[in-house]
Structure 1
């Protein structure tokens, strides 16, 4: 067989369905791509002027977007570098041929850099055919003596290049929208898309529609804003993150946050990022007030590429535990994929992510050291992400372990580093286990408030980090009695009936004080955590059965307070055979009291207890 060599051919009839349906994730991205191309055209002209290759007039370099909703036409115009007929044939007619690459290659010897450019792949223009059945480009190159050229195409399959009518340098792209896309590309929607993707573009964008311009002027080939002097740009060309932190006031930081995230609540504090290696990156991360633990995390960390929005909450750049923050990150070095909507894999991402994490940890550490009172005050709002980060990232734990704090039942806060070795008491909620908390505080013991679902995991993690030197114990599991009690209380134990949710394994009697409850329940901390784990985790049936077996065999002790008058009455009745039923009834009531003190009395058991309490109260009134 004869050897044959040649070039692969790409059929536009086959490639355009791919561009329309698969290359770009969202239909509105077409406008981002066309705005980005216009921005690059302006950047090229400015850099040509900087190296003395082009002469700029006093006109403002800018972009115009115009919508003729009635006719179904959308115009994107700029007064940038423009194109010749030859440029159109080279860069528009050849799919995936990027003019930016040629530009940088040609002028790099003059000290020109690619910083500020957005396009790389030469595909963005063709996204116009996602919404348009016909596209026209009327353009005039910056070069002296250049002639205007007009490129036209239906469906992006066939094209025609002829003489154009543009009088000033730049390009005017007109989209003839198809019937389906005319319906949703309204005046409101177009402004929304501009705000979404180009709100912080480095070049001013002017928007025109029938609401602020006569319809006859909307389809002008040359720049319309030359004639309309009272129009204002719809974007912010110098966003706050590009400024030096020393030049920004707290009010400016706060105002930027409130406006960018449409919030009516001021942030707690913020971190201003500025790095040059391994990526050039600028940005601001805010610590917001967290309303609840289940609010949406969408759109909280906005990622920009040369001031053009490309994505949000990119886990390669921002660890998931920082998604609870809000902010903006802008980098011209992010390795984007062809559609500029997603990031390509890159080994430097890890270093970038670690840098951001370190900056966040440094900010929290500084606040802890410089303003401990405010740190304690905002802890409720930041504790979830701090704990999540500690469990997720060993380096974050190393940075935060000395500033991890806990609230105490007495209203104060204590740092993890200040906690003693040995047993540390906690309660699952500030308003639970009050009787146990009162007893602990009378003994001079502090009780931490661990009221988040993540706290069970945090305690286990910190116990492991302490290498057995510290143990977290729920306050109702801390009461120790003499295991060598001389009396046999098995007869008393028989008077306490088991319920569906509680089975008392052992009865102990000990003095707890006259103001303590008549009885307290005691369950081992390990069993309590196992029970909590089985409730939280989605586990398979075999593991669930194993847990269930262990939980069913777990011991729950009932500790009677021999200083209590009610307990003493019960014990006297229990000694009399004639009063056994009354003693059994009182035993049920005492057991319910102990469940109430523990916060585990619910449903019908609670209703029965209330009814029994009313009955006892009525008896007391009669007596």
Structure 2
């Protein structure tokens, strides 16, 4: 049997009948009917726990019989007894044993004997009633070492043994002889143990709670030995009133992104009037804030509904909205140094996912983003800081994506930008490019992927005339590349304004994939078993080939393949030109971080070209390292 006793006001006989004897009063008729049906069908009734609120009759899930003894100041002590089918109320034959209050005795079912285990009871109290206003004690035992006087016979035997061992021992002083002799004995001691010794500090005004109290509460509440990065303590009023404390842990929980969006998150615990209700809420916080820990306590939510119905309660949507706003405010207030060194390293990916997923808070989240940029080698920069440093006539935020900062920096797309002093953001995480794509603009400035078309520079009238003259001069070549040589792989060929050292590059259209995005998409397709070949081919058709217009050696190379130096007009001899163009396109693929898209036949053709005299001195002098890598790739494919 399990006994639960309080020292409240108790109940009279009339109140016992009224409150416990009328099933409808407890709102449990549906519960009892459901339980009876399940028992008749041989089903377990344990799953009913929590579906009918905190009704008194839920005791019959684990008990065959419930006995309630109660003493009120205005009546004698009575006993109410029920087996769920009927009840009776009688005078307690034991008389007034309670003084005042109530004792509930549960005669447990055999299959519910686990609830008689002391540790089970303690864990249940700590989980569900840790923060209620009244103290809860459990009658429990512990082993203590105590001093007990030695019996007379034991004392005589000890003295004889001691005398035999050492007759020459100096006699003790008289005052020591007068002291009673004792021995240490381990005994089992029974006493009341306080279970809910942690106070609900969220019920106190925030200004009255010390910083050390927040840290101590967090460690106990979350079972985390590290101090939190930050916390926020607030009371929300309006459509729903609730109190809450939210914490940012010092490190990301293990497996933070495992089963992202589907894995249960039990870091936010919901209380109603200090009674724990549940932590099994998938929508209490958005997915990207799945690292936030805290408590929410409201007096406005109902206790007499199932937890399933509570999850759909309209007030929870209001609570969620306010929790997100307060969380973002808390993150925003973290000091810059601590933000970069601690928070961003642990939870930066979460903020990027938030930009993608949370449209209503996208502007707030964008201000929390940090990226490596060409401005500083190690210190990340916010978008606000980037905009403040923008050049006078710069109207776009430039970014370059790659697997690492080093790869992004060495891209041919960076050459002209860095030479002209433009700052470029480096995107090195797979989620980064998705994040930026979800942001149409920041502070009125649109984003520009430097690996895509659309990068423009201010130029003088003289420079513009020179560029237009070169475009006209090379129009036969670029047209031939687009319509003949590379018609299946590119959308157009143009002379480049963005290259200074590299001979060529492949530029994606505004809606195509950059080399970095192609790598990510192909990796995802490989993991899921999907085929993206159709989409990949369509993307290839949107590539733009850029030939440097500032490299005389390259121009000479094109002419030496059969073009007329005086006019570059059709018809011209294309012998050798296809091989040279093919070499350029393969270099472009490597430089622009795209994968090689052609088959073995063209690989062999390219390999043959590399071993002939058509490879000029310019090729080895300017792109030696890239050529060595390309030969290695080609040999691998040929073999």
TM-score, shorter chain, exceeding 0.5: yes
476, 489, 494: which one pairs with 2:477? 489
Counterpart in the other structure of 2:589: 595
Deviation at residue 284 of structure 1 after TM alignment: 0.7
* C-alpha distance after superposition, 1:194-215 (max 9, x if no partner): 33222323222233467779xx
State whether structure 2 residue 332 is matched by structure 1 residue 373: no
- Contact 1:84-1:141 at 8 Å conserved across structures: yes
SS in 2 for 1:167: coil
* C-alpha distance after superposition, 1:418-441 (max 9, x if no partner): 525632222334444332364233
Q: Aligned partners of 2:8 and 2:308: how far apart in 1? A: 25
474, 487, 493: which one pairs with 1:507? 493
- Contact 1:280-1:331 at 8 Å conserved across structures: yes
State whether structure 2 residue 399 is matched by structure 1 residue 426: yes
* C-alpha distance after superposition, 1:159-207 (max 9, x if no partner): 2333444434333323333233336875544443333222323222233
State whether structure 2 residue 408 is matched by structure 1 residue 414: no
State whether structure 2 residue 71 is matched by structure 1 residue 141: yes
Counterpart in the other structure of 2:301: 334
SS in 2 for 1:489: helix
Q: Aligned partners of 1:78 and 1:318: how far apart in 2? A: 37
| Cα distance change of structure 1 residues 489 and 290 upon mapping to structure 2, 3 Å threshold | farther
- Contact 2:288-2:350 at 8 Å conserved across structures: yes
In structure 2, runs of 5+ residues without a counterpart are 28-49, 145-187, 458-466, 526-530, 564-571, 608-624, 634-639
| Cα distance change of structure 1 residues 605 and 613 upon mapping to structure 2, 3 Å threshold | farther
* C-alpha distance after superposition, 1:308-356 (max 9, x if no partner): 1112365786566654422111112223442466438776666655544
Counterpart in the other structure of 1:519: 504
Give the 5 Å matches for 1:107-506.
124-137=55-68, 139-143=69-73, 146-154=75-83, 156-164=84-92, 165=94, 166-182=97-113, 186-208=117-139, 231-288=192-249, 289-290=251-252, 292-294=256-258, 296=263, 298-312=265-279, 314=281, 322-339=289-306, 342-343=309-310, 352-367=319-334, 371-377=335-341, 378-383=343-348, 386=351, 396-397=361-362, 406-409=371-374, 410=376, 411-416=379-384, 419=387, 422-429=395-402, 430-431=404-405, 432-436=407-411, 438-439=414-415, 440-450=417-427, 459-460=436-437, 462-463=439-440, 470-477=445-452, 484-487=471-474, 488-489=476-477, 503-506=489-492
39, 58, 80: which one pairs with 2:8? 80
Structure with greater Cα Rg: 2
Q: Aligned partners of 1:188 and 1:587: how far apart in 2? A: 78
- Contact 2:11-2:71 at 8 Å conserved across structures: yes
Q: How many residues align?
A: 494
* C-alpha distance after superposition, 1:502-541 (max 9, x if no partner): 9233334447667x44432101122239988999999xxx
In structure 1, runs of 5+ residues without a counterpart are 1-72, 100-118, 214-226, 539-543, 619-623
Q: Aligned partners of 1:569 and 1:435: how far apart in 2? A: 26
Counterpart in the other structure of 1:21: none
TM-score by length of 1: 0.64
* C-alpha distance after superposition, 1:100-138 (max 9, x if no partner): xxxxxxxxxxxxxxxxxxx9x99621111112222222x
Counterpart in the other structure of 2:151: none
| Cα distance change of structure 1 residues 497 and 263 upon mapping to structure 2, 3 Å threshold | farther
The CA RMSD over aligned residues, in Å, is 5.0
Q: Aligned partners of 1:496 and 1:258: how far apart in 2? A: 68
* C-alpha distance after superposition, 1:268-326 (max 9, x if no partner): 21111124544442221122344644464511211111221112365786566654422
Q: Aligned partners of 2:574 and 2:320: how far apart in 1? A: 72
SS in 2 for 1:260: helix
TM-score by length of 2: 0.62
- Contact 1:82-1:140 at 8 Å conserved across structures: yes
Deviation at residue 255 of structure 1 after TM alignment: 3.5
Residue range with higher mean Cα deviation, 194-203 or 385-394: 385-394
- Contact 1:310-1:342 at 8 Å conserved across structures: no
- Contact 2:441-2:447 at 8 Å conserved across structures: no
SS in 1 for 2:418: helix
Deviation at residue 400 of structure 1 after TM alignment: 5.9
* C-alpha distance after superposition, 1:6-48 (max 9, x if no partner): xxxxxxxxxxxxxxxxxxxxxxxxxxxxxxxxxxxxxxxxxxx
| Cα distance change of structure 1 residues 605 and 476 upon mapping to structure 2, 3 Å threshold | farther
- Contact 1:278-1:352 at 8 Å conserved across structures: no
| Cα distance change of structure 1 residues 578 and 365 upon mapping to structure 2, 3 Å threshold | closer
Q: Aligned partners of 2:536 and 2:369: how far apart in 1? A: 36
| Cα distance change of structure 1 residues 347 and 262 upon mapping to structure 2, 3 Å threshold | closer
Deviation at residue 477 of structure 1 after TM alignment: 1.8
State whether structure 2 residue 547 is matched by structure 1 residue 560: yes
